[in-house]
Amino acid sequence: MSEIGQVEVDEIYVGINKRGTHFVLPCQAKSPGDKFGIVQVMQDIVLCQERYPNAICKPIALQFMSGNGVAILELAVTEEDDLLRLNIVEEKRYELVPRTEISETELRTLMEGEL
């Protein structure tokens, strides 16, 4: 990258919403107990601004929890009193389950978007 050198991003997703707005989602994934760093999120944002200047950048993180839980976090960097802070904009929690534990009826409902 032109200004900050090498950047580590676990994944980058590019998508479009129902209104046609383009988004780029740099993703970090962390094991239970690992912390997210503001520097990495800031680097992700700069990378997305350079490579995808016409898309809205929404940094996300996957926080794997003990057991089969996972939290998906939307992150933002804000400035307060001349200090940069890493904030969670939104958090969703999910329980990961094996395919064998989901009935055919539940799968059909999921595919139809009714859940």
Per-residue pLDDT of the chain (115 residues; tens, 9 = 90+): 566 677 788 899 999 999 999 999 999 998 888 888 898 999 999 999 999 999 999 999 999 988 899 999 999 999 989 999 999 999 999 999 998 898 999 888 888 865 4
Mapped onto helix, strand or coil, the DSSP state of residue 100 is helix
List the chain domain ranges. 11-112
Specify the pLDDT at position 1.
52
Alpha-helical runs (H) found in the chain:
38-51, 104-112
Q: How far is CA 38 from the centre of its chain?
A: 14
- Residues 68/43, Cβ–Cβ less than 8 Å: no
CA distance 68 to 52: 33
